[in-house]
């Protein structure tokens, strides 16, 4: 990612030259206020997906989360798994309990 800085005329000149290059996307900087306004304007469904994406980014950067996933995978590789029938039974039991 290339950040353009300097005086306004210098920035405009650089951006103008960059626009003519292939495979260059110009993305304007967004302030926190602008991001909040965009989120406020979203539907509940879009907000749900945005929230899930932000959580994903947080988890991706968290070493403890990565370690927990690695430990789960190791347990599964060792054979600690559930069959589909077992999961269906657990689900039905939880439904009977109202959970």
| Model pLDDT, residue 26 | 64
| Model pLDDT, residue 42 | 92
What are the pLDDT digits (tens) for 10-46?
Answer: 766 776 677 677 776 666 677 888 889 999 999 999 9
Beta carbons of 5 and 11 less than 8 angstroms apart: yes
pTM: 0.50
| Model pLDDT, residue 84 | 94
What are the pLDDT digits (tens) for 80-94?
Answer: 999 999 999 999 999
| Model pLDDT, residue 52 | 94
Comparison of pLDDT for 1 and 39, the residue scoring more: 39
**Residue 64: pLDDT over 70:** yes
């Amino acid at each position: 990612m290339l950040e353009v800085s300097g005086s306004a005329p210098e920035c405009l000149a650089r951006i103008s030259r960059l626009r003519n290059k292939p495979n260059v996307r110009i993305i304007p900087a967004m302030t926190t206020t602008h991001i909040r306004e965009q989120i406020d304007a979203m539907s509940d469904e879009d907000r749900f997906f945005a929230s899930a994406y932000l959580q994903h980014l947080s988890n991706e950067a968290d070493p403890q989360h990565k370690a927990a996933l690695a430990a789960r995978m190791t347990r599964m590789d060792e054979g600690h798994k559930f069959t589909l029938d077992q999961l269906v039974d657990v689900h039905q039991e939880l439904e009977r309990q109202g959970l």
